[in-house]
């Protein structure tokens, strides 16, 4: 409760408090001095700096010269052996490394793990591993400080500070919900990012085609002969080949080349994925045998095969242009566009309606905790309803052939200075629809939280399969810890119960994804380029706290709804992770308002064509 930065106020400079400071440090030393697990002494945390901390430092160094002493608020003095800042940016720690060699920098707190967070962790470590002065950091925090409560209906949930206005101390809403794991140790998805970025084994490709690789041992004491190394080669259809590597005898801080022969990677007709994995040989007290401690994945691009575009064997298309609608289809499917809204409003396959609502431009995401902390909802708020508020300017058929119909929809976005949005639908006789989008901004506009499209399917289409990163959620600045593979599960299984509901469930680097019903009928999306895809049994309003005032929200407020919202995006901004109280998403993971275009193809699945 005292000002910690003002030297005139802080207890650290009040002589009457010297004995209290010394007493605490002396008790700590006597309690822990014989534990070999103690490698560094700390003078305290966030308690100002002054003569009392100088006294505690001098006392500790007189007792024990074998261990370093650190204190964050003494980092620019001689009273800390470690430069130990909190939440310094990547640029700032690199600047330190380039100017100082007298003491190492270890971030005493960084990568604030509040809500959907821990973005750009890989970027931190790219910098840390380039400079010997940078020696790592401590993520805040390991576990949520949530309190188990029950609703009036008996549903359990974790509450947070803002739920206790009657408490005798202030709270900062859900600010203590900032763990890699939740209060009951259920893991949050960002823990997978931490595991991958922190792994002590790195494998690099020397020559992909010839199967030559280099393995680097980043351990301080462990030889890599303690692990079993194996490899798997897959494509979108599954496993092609696998094998074990010979024992890799690599000492700490050393590297070694090895080769995987006979993979025949040349002239692949499909994209290939080679994953090399290191697993424990023997069980230890904490870790079982066969536990994966490290992996790296390599993408071998496909040599594009020749695609048969012949449609003449299919049933030709019929186009009906009436006063209110455009209807395209044949006996297998029927797609209806509204001339009023310019949108697809119905898609029937074998007389079964797929849609609740058709594709709509989507520029918004439910704010994550970091967004709320840096003011994103106010700064970027014009995009909140921009897609829904678009105005149809023109809907026209620009080409009509027996086996292909092209429909073009032109919109303006009133919320964004009448920016232009163009969607071109190419409908083919096989039931597939290629969708091409272009956004042209007008005037000075803020960054876009996302650039994509959303549609809502009937609730029966709740089985999701995708070929991309997974199985957990990934984002633009948080996808190092996920392998590209084919994954599947129910739509509801993609939901992650953040203690305070927020954006969740995005899948990045998606080549294709499908939503089907129990009979295998549904839609598959294939991107012209890599996509971001998310499916949920929710509406945006369920996880979005803006712009209206809202009481505290919790996991029990999220209920499975009879619908499937499907986001098919080109880009979504990163989630951030430097801090949750002001630092924005890094520039390279933002979406400036400029011209964008992207495309994808929606393909019927399970339709007898």
Q: Among all residues, which ones are annotated catalytic? A: 46, 109
The answer to whether the Cα torsion of 91, 92, 93, 95 is positive or negative is positive
Query: Could you give phi then psi for residue 213, rounded to 5 degrees?
Result: -140, 160
Query: What is the distance between the alpha carbons of residues 290 and 280, in angstroms, rounded to a whole number?
Result: 5
Provide Rg for the chain, Cα atoms: 28
Residue with tokens 């984002």, as numbered in its chain: 475
Q: Which 3 state secondary structure label does DSSP give 479?
A: coil
What's the chain's length in residues?
609
Q: How many helices (H) and strands (E) does the chain have?
A: 8, 30
H/E/C letters for each residue in 310-361? CCCCCCCCEEEECCCEEEEECCCEEEEEECCCCCEEEEEECCEECEEEEEEE
Residue 8 burial (10 A CB sphere; 0-12, 13-18, 19+): exposed
Residue with tokens 């997978």, as numbered in its chain: 192
| Cis, bond preceding 369 (omega within 30 deg of 0) | no
CB atoms < 10 A from the CB of 468, how many?
Answer: 25
For 207, what's the count of Cα atoms within 13 Å in the CB-facing half-sphere?
12
Helix or strand run (H / E) with residue 529: strand 522-536
The DSSP 8-state label assigned to residue 162 in this structure reads: G
Q: Which 3 state secondary structure label does DSSP give 455?
A: strand
Strand partners, 326: 321, 337
Rounded to 10 deg, the angle between the 51-63 and 18-32 helix axes is 30
Query: Could you give phi then psi for residue 80, rounded to 5 degrees?
Result: -150, 130
The DSSP 8-state label assigned to residue 538 in this structure reads: S
For residues 368 and 576, is the Cβ–Cβ distance under 8 A?
yes
Query: What is the distance between the alpha carbons of residues 549 and 271, in angstroms, rounded to a whole number?
Result: 48
């Amino acid at each position: 409760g005292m000002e910690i930065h003002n030297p005139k106020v802080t207890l650290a400079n009040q002589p009457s408090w010297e004995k209290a400071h010394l007493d605490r440090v002396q008790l700590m030393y006597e309690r822990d001095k014989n534990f070999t697990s103690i490698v560094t002494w700390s003078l305290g945390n966030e308690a100002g700096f002054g003569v009392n901390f100088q006294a505690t430092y001098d006392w500790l160094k007189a007792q024990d010269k074998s261990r370093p002493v650190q204190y964050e608020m003494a980092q620019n003095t001689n009273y800390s052996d470690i430069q130990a800042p909190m939440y310094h940016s990547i640029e700032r720690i690199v600047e330190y490394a380039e100017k100082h060699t007298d003491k190492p920098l270890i971030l005493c707190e960084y990568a604030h793990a509040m809500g959907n967070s821990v973005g750009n962790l890989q970027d931190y470590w790219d910098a840390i591993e380039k400079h010997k002065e940078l020696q790592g950091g401590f993520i805040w925090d390991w576990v949520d400080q949530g309190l188990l409560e029950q609703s009036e209906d008996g549903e359990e949930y974790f509450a947070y500070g803002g739920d206790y206005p009657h408490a005798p101390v202030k709270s900062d809403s859900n600010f203590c919900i900032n763990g890699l794991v939740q209060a009951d140790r259920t893991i949050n998805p960002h823990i997978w990012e931490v595991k991958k970025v922190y792994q002590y084994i790195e494998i690099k490709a020397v020559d992909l085609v010839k199967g030559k690789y280099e393995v680097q041992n980043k351990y301080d004491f462990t030889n890599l002969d303690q692990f079993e190394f194996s490899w798997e080669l897959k494509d979108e259809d599954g496993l092609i080949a696998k094998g074990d590597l010979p024992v890799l005898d690599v000492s700490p801080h050393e590297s070694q080349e090895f080769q995987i022969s006979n993979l025949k990677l040349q002239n692949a007709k499909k994209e290939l994925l080679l994953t090399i994995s290191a697993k424990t040989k023997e069980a230890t007290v904490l870790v079982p045998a066969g536990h994966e401690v490290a992996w790296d994945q390599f993408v071998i691009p496909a040599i594009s095969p020749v695609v048969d575009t012949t449609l003449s064997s299919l049933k030709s298309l019929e186009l009906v242009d009436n006063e209110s609608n455009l209807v395209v289809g044949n006996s297998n499917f029927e797609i209806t566009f509204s001339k009023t809204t310019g949108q697809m409003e119905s898609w029937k396959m074998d007389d079964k309606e797929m849609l609740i609502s058709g594709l709509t431009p989507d520029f918004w995401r439910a704010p994550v905790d970091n967004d709320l902390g840096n003011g994103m909802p106010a700064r970027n708020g014009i995009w909140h309803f921009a897609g829904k508020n678009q105005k149809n300017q023109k809907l026209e058929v620009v080409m009509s052939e027996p086996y292909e119909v092209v429909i073009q929809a032109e919109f303006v976005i009133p919320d964004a200075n009448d920016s232009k949005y163009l969607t071109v639908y190419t409908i083919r006789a096989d039931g597939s629809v290629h969708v091409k989008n272009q956004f042209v901004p007008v005037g000075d506009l803020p960054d876009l939280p996302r650039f994509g499209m959303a549609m809502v399917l009937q609730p029966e289409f709740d089985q999701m399969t995708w070929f991309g990163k997974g199985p957990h959620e990934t984002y633009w600045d948080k996808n190092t810890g996920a392998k590209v593979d084919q994954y599947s599960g129910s739509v509801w299984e993609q939901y992650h119960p953040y203690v305070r509901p927020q954006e969740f469930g995005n899948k990045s680097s998606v080549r294709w994804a499908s939503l089907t019903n129990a009979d295998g009928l549904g839609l598959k999306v294939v991107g012209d380029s890599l996509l971001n895809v998310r499916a949920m049994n929710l509406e945006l309003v369920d996880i979005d706290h803006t712009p209206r005032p809202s009481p505290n929200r919790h996991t029990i407020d999220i209920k499975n709804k009879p619908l499937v919202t499907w986001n098919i995006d080109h880009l979504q901004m990163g989630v951030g992770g430097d801090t949750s109280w002001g630092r924005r998403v890094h520039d390279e993971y933002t979406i400036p308002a400029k011209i964008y275009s992207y495309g994808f193809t929606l393909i019927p699945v399970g339709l007898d064509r």
